[in-house]
Structure 1
């Protein structure tokens, strides 16, 4: 998934590649990485998009498609939900602070900018919209 995060990686495909059942794969993956496969893939796609926004002149549309999104609207909405800023705002912010970050190793910078996806994007959006409402379900690690 890391090497080809732009591709579709449904649990069925991952399980087939691993030679186990879908349920076993999903449980084992979450146990090993702390998040379900879909959230892990979202994290990788967002990390890649941040790097492309920061380091290239590609348009936001090209970045969305290059990182595996099928729709610019979906990319923008999920990017904002996870990062808290639009891709354009993120690009402007990254470029404004680029001179300060030139001395930081890329691996450290990438780890510091890794999106927090310990909860589902929809749950995160619901919590922001209804700041006082407790989640209806509790995610178990």
Structure 2
């Protein structure tokens, strides 16, 4: 168990993470998520990072980019529609984060072919297509 964290704390953090997984398209912020976890915003942010290895904001944006990738692969929505569908309110911020995590712009991702992954089961595709920050991918490859 993490130092200074009780099992009850971990359960509450998991509850907040489940809200992000389920309601990623809703406006979610640290104070709202902290209320779900029954913690102060500062304590929630520190505890979430200690438990899951990333900030609540980064976790939420990764979920949004994962969903955006799926919507862009379908090809029936433009980038702005996808941006709004996944809960982002700024096209510029969404595009910057998408590019940071995926390594290409949302438009470039949407434009390229995605048939190679069509036969992969959804549970495997989720892991294989999970966005990873470019710096993390390079350091993992070097290990």
Range class of TM-score, shorter chain: 0.7 to 0.9
Aligned residues between the structures: 116
- Counterpart residue number, 2:118: 102
1:31 corresponds in structure 2 to 50
The Cα shift of 1:97 comes to: 3.4
Cα distance, 1:6 vs structure 2: 1.4
Check if 1:87 corresponds to 2:106: yes
Q: 2:118 & 2:36 partners in 1: Cα distance? A: 39
Distance, in Å, in 1 between the alignment partners of 2:49 and 2:93 is 25
Residue of structure 1 in register with 2:65 after alignment: 46
Gaps of 5+ in 2: 1-19, 136-143
Separation in 2, partners of 1:21, 1:72: 30
1:55 maps to what in 2? 74
Q: Work out the CA distance in 2 between the residues paired with 1:60 and 1:118.
A: 21
- Distance between the aligned counterparts of 1:84 and 1:29, measured in 2? 26
**Following the alignment from structure 1 to structure 2, what is the Cα–Cα distance between the partners of residues 2 and 97?**
24
TM-score (norm 1): 0.74
Q: Where does structure 1 lack aligned partners over 5 or more consecutive residues?
A: 120-141
Contact residue 75 and residue 110 of structure 2 kept, 8 A: no
Per the alignment, residue 132 of structure 1 pairs with none
Moved more, 39-48 or 53-62: 53-62
Shift of the 27–35 alpha-carbon distance from structure 1 to 2, 3 Å rule, reads same
Kindly indicate whether structure 1 or structure 2 has the higher relative contact order, using CA contacts under 8 Å at least 6 residues apart. Answer: 1
Q: How much does 1:27 deviate?
A: 2.0
Scaled by the length of structure 2, the TM-score of the pair is 0.73
Q: 1:77 is matched with which residue?
A: 96
Q: Determine if the alignment matches structure 1 residue 113 to structure 2 residue 129.
A: yes
2:134 and 2:59 map into 1 onto residues whose CA distance is 9
RMSD, aligned α-carbons: 1.8
